[in-house]
Amino acid sequence: MPWWRDRSLLTAFIVDLLHGELAKLRPGQALPPRPWSESLEIGEAGLGADSLEKLTLASALGQALRLDRSGLDDHLLARTSIGSWVDLAEICLGRFDFSMVFLTSGSAGHPKICEHSLACLQQEATFLASMFGDRERIVAAVSCRHIYGFLFTVLLPHILGVPVWRRVDKTTVNLGAELRRGDLVVGFPDFWRLGSRSVEQFPSDVVAVSSTAPLPRDLDDVLANRGLSRLVEIYGASETAGIGWRLAPSPDFNLFPFWTRSPDGDSIIRGLPDGRTTEILPQDRLDWRSERLFRPAGRLDEAFQVGGVNVHPRRVADVLSRHPEVVEASVRLMRPEEGSRAKALIVPRNMPVDERVLSAELERWSVEHLSAAERPKSYSFARELPRDALGKLVDWR
């Protein structure tokens, strides 16, 4: 039975996708906490989507599930509730379900379309099922509209036949009391950092998985000391899906069995379910320890992640530079001792400047023009950006 025949999984995917799209359309505005019922209206009587927002939501869903291949995707606009959109999606997927689309922000900060065949996604999920076949429940702290969440909280539980508890809109305060023996908790680095503070002792036989960004190595020991049974980190991207995994505390990632290292080591080769192969350049430089073991050695596109979301510093700097009181800006990730958000160095149009006033103005500007993950949480000011002898931007404190 295909995954989308499980109505709870299809509904969860559609709800997460609609939630994510509305969050982008309404920056800074709170949305109703999930889960959303099938009876919830998408328009004014429920989520409040106007005609343009509804068109955007329908287009995003049609793209993600390739509903256009069925020829029925335009019928979404005539339907009013989440349940009615699930009904139509089931009909469309019954005609075509061979591929899905996931979006990433890409190296320039613009959404990038990443289409994956369902056969390749199922190939990976089948391997994951061999790794986590003893799990009795999936606890999802990530959205299933992204490829990592889809693999672990849609396809994996579908293969294992286990229930999913979705807690994407919950804090980690009561996490320890909510978990039970046999759980697989699907999270991301910031979630595990917060969980390490709020959970004094994990129940026995709880397994954690993390992805979307590098997991700080000090968390390996902290979570183990809290009683976590296993901690598995997944390395991959929207463009490639999963590439490798590591079992803490080992720093080395193992290639998934359908990936191999290319002869020159710069790219990797995937064996497809139909016997063909495809060669891909990873998002990071890979430090090869052996033919099957590697360590990520930094992104090629300079992106960093906040809360599991790619943040492209050049795009954020460009947005800040469009403020009328800013000449130029530089953006980077805070150092571990500073926090885990973006920070910005600003060259004001006029110096000296009231830093408190301009910081407040830039915060308002960021709310209007940037996503929550992209917004800097610290502003510093200088007469010019630091550059090396060749005129290239250098790091700053």
Q: How far apart are CA 22 and CA 48, in angstroms?
A: 10
| 196 and 257 in a common domain | yes
Kindly report the CATH number assigned to the domain that includes residue 187. Answer: 3.40.50.12780
Q: How far apart are CA 254 and CA 294, in angstroms?
A: 7
How far is 153 from 62, CA to CA, in rounded Å? 21
pLDDT in tens, the chain (397 residues): 999 999 999 999 999 999 999 988 998 888 998 999 999 999 988 999 999 999 999 999 999 999 999 888 889 999 999 999 999 999 999 999 999 999 875 434 467 899 999 999 999 999 999 999 999 999 999 999 999 999 999 999 999 999 999 999 899 999 999 999 999 999 998 899 999 999 999 999 999 999 988 888 889 999 999 999 999 999 999 999 999 999 999 999 999 999 999 998 889 999 999 999 999 988 888 999 999 999 998 777 678 888 878 888 988 999 999 999 999 999 999 988 888 899 999 999 998 999 999 999 999 999 999 989 999 999 999 998 887 544 456 667 6
Let me know if residue 386 belongs to a domain.
no
Q: Are residues 40 and 10 in the same domain?
A: yes
CATH label of the domain that carries residue 339? 3.30.300.30
Whether residues 127 and 247 fall in one domain: yes
pTM of the model: 0.81
Between helix 51-64 and helix 7-25 the angle, nearest 10°, is 130
The residue length of the chain stands at 397
The verdict on residue 395 lying in a domain is no
> CA nearest 128: which of 151, 101, 102?
151
| Cβ-proximal residues to 76 (8 Å cutoff; 6+ apart), any chain | 58, 61, 62, 67, 85, 88
Q: Same domain for 162 and 284?
A: yes
Q: Are residues 163 and 82 in the same domain?
A: no
Two tokens, residue 151: 């693999």
Spatial separation of the C-alpha atoms in residues 267 and 276, rounded to whole Å: 17
Residue 180: domain span: 98-298
**Looking at the domain assignment, is residue 10 inside a domain?**
yes
Residue 393 located in a structural domain: no
Last residue of a domain, one of 298, 327, 352: 298
Same domain, 352 and 230: no
Q: How many domains does the chain have?
A: 3
